[in-house]
Structure formats: structure tokens, C-alpha cells
Amino acid sequence: SGSLTTHVLNTATGLPATGIAIQVAQLQEPGTQWMELAQRWTDEDGRCSPLLVPEQVKAGTYKLRFETAPYWQGLGHTSFYPFVEVVFTITDPAQKFHVPLLISPFSYTTYRGS
């Protein structure tokens, strides 16, 4: 059944992005308050343990916040984006949700993976 995963790739080097902090939060409906559900860090492969496991995945609006500035600073670069937030909606909690992030110091891209 459902889960939420991610991975981060540095597109400037073509290598996984290691050590990026990621927070996952769910929007509390109705309203504008976010409740943090988990925090993880990417490993040497740019991945982390599942952000949400099946019993945690519910229908709703979620946000992944990737702390990119410390990663770039660690590589001796500055980044135009100090963090990246990706907001998305889960309508069928039984599905697997994989939300990759591709980063460079001056751009980022995300998509729904499989």
C-alpha cells in the first residue's frame, strides 16, 4: 500500500545530494497550519528512509521542505534558493508517492516519480 519517498540529485555534478535535511508536513484542513510529520536526511545515494509509511499516508495536502543552502555551502557554493518547498495533494492513500528533486545552485525541478 501507500508510502512517500524522495531522492535528491545534484544536476551540476550528476551525483546524489548527500546530507540534505527534508521535512514533511501535512496541511491541517481547513486552514493554513502545517503539522510536521517527519524529518529525514539524504544518504550517500541521495535517498532517505520513507518519509511516510503506509499507515501514515492519508488523503490531504503535503509539503516537502528541502534545506538546500547548507548542502551548497558545504560544497563551497552559494545558492539562489535557500530551500525548496514542494506542495502536492494525495487523493488515493493506497498509492506509492515518490517525489524526486533535481537541484543546481540556480534551479530545481521536481516531478511525481514511480
Q: Which residues are annotated as a binding site for substrate?
A: 7, 47, 111
**Alpha carbon separation from 46 to 15, 16, 60 (Å, rounded):** 8, 4, 26
d(CA 18, CA 70) in angstroms, rounded, equals 11
> Could you report how far apart the first and last alpha carbons of the chain are, in Å?
13
**Binding-site residues from annotation:** 7, 47, 111
